[in-house]
Amino acid sequence: MVLLHGHPRTHTTWYRVAPALAGAGFTVVCPDLRGYGRSAKPVPDEKHETYCDRAMAADIVALMRALGYRRFAVVGHDRGSYVAYRTALDHPDSVSRLDVLDSVPILEALERAGAKFATAWWHWFFLGASPHAERVITADPLAWYRPDEKAMGPDNYRDLVRAVTDPATVRAMLEDYRAGLTVDRAHDEADRAAGRVIACPTLVAWSAKDDMEDLYGDPVGIWRSWVSGELISARIESGHHLAEENPGQLVEALVRFLR
């Protein structure tokens, strides 16, 4: 299986989850998404296609094939979940099972982005639309991201600090959000219009102490129109960074679903 982190995390966010999954008998691959962490950071393009979920999904398939895996499960959290479900939509022959954590499809989120969402998730629009975002963040990235070494663990913390203090990483992460508001949304709209859905079994899991339920009620209900295969849910007693805050319950849910 491949585990895909969210923003602004790197692959080290899975430091308590990946060993447990490996111990349960799974082969686990934890990459940094394009532009994040220590991954490549190509120059952005005006249409934001370089950092769109479709491009990142192609990265994941190419990576797994290079490692010798033509079919695999994909687990994605936060921004990584968008890459995960795009991988399942664009490469159905490659994805055996899909796990999306703390998300609904990006089109669904944007269509429901009323005052409550815009107030709580204002950073989506600042990162994705403001011409000042890069200057503001790179002026003091640790003040912006406020990483907590005690909560994250020392190695995970150091990897995140290394990433967010690199201006090229900040630029790439902003491009991820710019793509989300534009080309990623367009890809979702095209899939919905064409009736394309996710065919593989899908687990929708979310953090009970985050705002998923407040914003969407039952997140599974939103995913139903996007998934034709088996669809199950898991509610994790955690804040947003569930892989770091409650790895035990998350691992249990993943193992139960993936076996």
pLDDT of residue 107: 98
Domains of the chain: 2-258 (3.40.50.1820)
Catalytic site residue 159? no
For the chain, percent of residues with pLDDT exceeding 70: 100
Told to judge if 191 belongs to the known catalytic residues of this protein, a careful annotator would answer no
pLDDT for the residue 76: 98
In the predicted model, what is the mean pLDDT of residues 129-156? 97
d(CA 40, CA 42): 6
The reported pLDDT for the residue numbered 229 is 92
Q: Report which of 195, 198, 3, 183 is spatially closest to residue 95, judged by C-alpha positions.
A: 198
Average pLDDT on 85-112 reads 98
Question: How does pLDDT run across 93-104, given as a tens digit for each residue?
Answer: 999 999 999 999
pLDDT above 90: percentage of residues in the chain: 100
Reported as a single tens digit per residue, the pLDDT across 53-68 is: 999 999 999 999 999 9
> Given this model, what pLDDT does residue 40 score?
97
| pLDDT score, position 207 | 97
**Catalytic option among 78, 99, 176, 191:** 78
Tell me the DSSP string of 1-22.
Answer: -EEE--SS--GGGGTTTHHHHH
User: Which residue among the candidates 90, 210, 211, 240 is catalytic per the annotation?
Assistant: 240
